[in-house]
Structure 1
Amino acid sequence: MQTKSAEIVGSNEDLLTEILLRLPVKSLIDFKLVSKQWHSIITNPNFCHLRSCRKTKPPAIGLFIHSGDFSYNESFDYVPFSVPRLRISPIQKHRLTIEDFSLDIRVVQSCNGLLLCRNIKGPGEWKYYVCNPTTKHSFRIPQLDENIKRGMCLAFDPAKSPHYHVVCVHECPKNSDLSFRIQIYSSKTGSWKICGNPFSSPQIYGRAVYWNGSVHWISILSAVFMYFNIDRQVLDKMPLPRISLRPRTKRFIYYFGESCDHLHFIIACQYEIRFDVYEMKRDYSEWFVKYKVDLSRVVAAYPEMIRDYNNRKYYHFHVLSLVRGEEEEEEPFLVLHIPRKVVRYNLVSMTFRVLHDFVSDESNYIMCYGGVLNSLSIGFQYIESLSCV
């Protein structure tokens, strides 16, 4: 009877697809080996798209950070979020499969299960790759024969389309009155195209975040918050957050990122351990305070966070990531890097626990520059995905 039932399911591809759509990613990766039929279904881009449409946006389950020896290669440290209580996990090595193994690779951005990576040579020699760390597949983005590139960003929403875009901001020719223009690579067409009009705006390139169908850049130094809508191909400004800090207080961007379809921003003074987490409304009308953070308990537990500079006390930590769950009742948390540790700090209950304990001064690579701005390019969320590259 079981054999007959299996034959019925196997002969009905629509029914088999419905069953496979309900399985977790790890099981699907194993089930690709069952048969050619199962492999064909699971690796079909439309299967991944259907799966994304039926599920709420999956949360991150871990964080990639670059290896501590600064010899950027295809191996990265991986810190999982689901570490059992009272147990400190050894940091794991995760290997990306890049077609050109002669390259030293670094992660540029994480976007809904895919990673944008590049080699570490000079700007004129940069090669960019889109990688899926779950399936271990990668694809090299065709080179742009353009002037100096000021920023590359991955734009991907598997619930909207199985295809992704790579957005490039680069300088216009010197004889142009305007400074920059945008080109977009489409994985659907396999080609680049110029989008929108040239523009002049200071420092909107660099670290970029994809959210709400747009790529976002921020520069607190020049008070510029910009976003580029992919579908409408329009560049626009975001409002500035209403921040109240003491006069002549130096502000640092501690975090700018997206989690479960929410855009977050943290700015604070390094001499304080209380700060706000801002969230942007979907209509771009304003930033509002979503969470209030007080790290007093963390500092009390780990006084090595307290440092002295010119006879003034400050606190040594980085916000590596802010993670929200797919359900509202799941408690959001910050992933903090403090001296020799990675800590998970729950934003509602204000409890915390260690995710990883570094050996010796292995973790100095995150803090070696002494500035919190450095954390903007350190932590990259890992979301399980079957998306094709």
Structure 2
Amino acid sequence: MSLAEYLSYVPDDLIVEILSRLPVKDLMRFRCVCKTWKSIIFDPSFVKKHLERSSKKIHLIITREEVLYDGFDYDYGDAYAIPYSINQLFENPSSDVDEDDYYQLNGYWIIGSCNGLVCLGGYHGEEDTIYEYWVQFWNPATRMKSRKSPRLHVNPCCQGFDPSNSIGFGFLYDDLSAIYKVVSVLSNCRSKKTEVWVYNLGGNCWTNIFSCPNFPILRQNGRLVNGTINWLAIDMSSSHYEERNDIIDPLVIFSVDLQKDTYKYLLLPKGLDQIPDNDQLRIVELRDRLCLYHDRNATHFVVWQMKEFGVEKSWTLLMKVTYNHLQIPYPPDRPLLPFCISENGEVLMLVNNDVLNMTFYNRRNNRVEVIPIPNNNAWWQATNYIPSLVSPFQN
């Protein structure tokens, strides 16, 4: 009996049920078994069913560069985006992934990831010229990538414009409209307003959905938490704003809700102290919770967690540990990066790109384990990612 004859005896519902439990890599191979399987695997209802089953299998897309040392100075090689299983990072952190999974970024950066789609950002421009920004959508599991989006043209209206920091981007899936959206926030120094622009997957233009009082952002990538995109920003509308380095009162978290086309700002933890300047503060998303991290007095590394999004009183001190205890003899020139947290919330994985190490800190027993990053690489960014069959093209 041929395979085709055998499969004809298997009920379609059973085939769908079995296939929906398999990893995307297997499904991409099995699509070649027969036309029926290929049709099933790319059917929108099956893609949705498979995504629902995969939603608990969180991975990371890690942006990394090879570090080259010539005996006198350090240099960096090409930048790659590589998917890692979080379980792999905690259970076998010294292992590497198959080189077939490497994706060379070629000047792009990762804006964010949602439902298995990774949003890549690119820009072009020179000083005192119009800057052009665009995005592409990439599915690492299926290796499909969209065309470039239409350009977002930005006129640098002041000498302080920085093409990599004066404009911010974020990426999310709007459940109400069932549309993947890229949001951009731009501080317009002429109007003294923050402009919020949106591009929809498959659309033909960027749309300015609203403007609001100026909140200059301090970091480029917005953090997706609870259906909103969030940036650390300066509250220039505050009546007590002063351009001083010894206070952090004007800093807020600027939060955009694309379902409602609204914004709000969230206050930082009240317990923040001894922060020398704004550059010490950063935000990150860990296990669907907004976190804030910083150096304190060049002696401690501190991480805060907002346990209930939007509730400022829910800020909780997640860790406050000396560099010495983390087996770091001196404060790193580059800030430590919280990459991920274990499922039970007890172990944080930190990356130290000064010495190319991963540090695992156990909050419960205060233990520390330090492991070299594989292949002498620097790891710059970690983005939550779920392998899926979601198409990067307009449906």
Q: TM-score, normalised by structure 1?
A: 0.73
**Residue 209 of structure 1: how far off its partner (Å):** 0.9
CA 144–195 in structure 1, closer or farther in 2 if over 3 Å, else same:
same
Give unmatched runs, 5+ long, in structure 2.
Answer: 68-74, 156-162, 235-247
Q: Indicate yes or no: 2:206 matched with 1:206.
A: no
| Match 1:234 to one of 235, 254, 262 | 262
| Match 1:279 to one of 265, 286, 306 | 306
**Residue 67 of structure 1: how far off its partner (Å):** 4.4
CA 122–189 in structure 1, closer or farther in 2 if over 3 Å, else same:
closer
In the alignment, is the contact (CA less than 8 A) between 2:117 and 2:137 conserved in 1?
yes
| Match 2:352 to one of 308, 316, 337 | 337
State the secondary structure of the residue aligned to 1:194. Answer: strand
CA 44–297 in structure 1, closer or farther in 2 if over 3 Å, else same:
farther
CA 349–165 in structure 1, closer or farther in 2 if over 3 Å, else same:
farther
State the secondary structure of the residue aligned to 2:21. Answer: coil
Trace 1:1-389 onto structure 2 (pairs within 5 A): 6-9=7-10, 12=12, 14-54=13-53, 56-61=55-60, 63-68=62-67, 70=76, 72=78, 75-76=80-81, 81=86, 82=88, 88-90=94-96, 93=99, 94-96=101-103, 104-119=107-122, 121-122=124-125, 124-148=131-155, 150-156=167-173, 163-170=179-186, 174=190, 177-187=191-201, 189=203, 191-203=205-217, 206-219=220-233, 222-246=250-274, 249-250=276-277, 253=280, 255-269=282-296, 271-289=298-316, 291-294=318-321, 299-300=326-327, 305-307=328-330, 314-315=331-332, 318-324=335-341, 329=344, 331-337=346-352, 339-354=355-370, 356-357=372-373, 378-389=381-392
**Residue 212 of structure 1: how far off its partner (Å):** 1.1
**CA distance in 1 between partners of 2:337 and 2:111 (Å):** 14
**CA distance in 2 between partners of 1:39 and 1:214 (Å):** 35
**CA distance in 1 between partners of 2:263 and 2:40 (Å):** 39
Q: Deviations over 1:12-52 (max 9, x none)?
A: 2x442232222233333332332222223223344332333
State the secondary structure of the residue aligned to 1:151. Answer: strand
**Residue 232 of structure 1: how far off its partner (Å):** 0.3
CA 160–92 in structure 1, closer or farther in 2 if over 3 Å, else same:
farther
| AA aligned opposite 1:193 | T
Q: Deviations over 1:342-365 (max 9, x none)?
A: 333344444444554466xx55x6
**Residue 244 of structure 1: how far off its partner (Å):** 3.8
CA 386–262 in structure 1, closer or farther in 2 if over 3 Å, else same:
farther
The farther-off stretch of 15-24 and 63-72 is: 63-72
Q: How many pairs are equivalent?
A: 353
| AA aligned opposite 1:8 | Y
**CA distance in 1 between partners of 2:196 and 2:135 (Å):** 16
Q: Deviations over 1:143-166 (max 9, x none)?
A: 235334822221137x87864111
| AA aligned opposite 1:202 | P
Q: How many percent identity over aligned positions?
A: 19
**CA distance in 2 between partners of 1:97 and 1:299 (Å):** 32
State the secondary structure of the residue aligned to 2:337. Answer: strand
Q: Deviations over 1:248-304 (max 9, x none)?
A: 74565464222332222223326123524322523444342152243567544xxxx
**CA distance in 2 between partners of 1:318 and 1:204 (Å):** 15
Q: Deviations over 1:130-152 (max 9, x none)?
A: 22222222123422353348222
**Residue 319 of structure 1: how far off its partner (Å):** 3.5
In the alignment, is the contact (CA less than 8 A) between 1:227 and 1:237 conserved in 2?
yes
In the alignment, is the contact (CA less than 8 A) between 2:192 and 2:213 conserved in 1?
yes
In the alignment, is the contact (CA less than 8 A) between 2:194 and 2:211 conserved in 1?
no
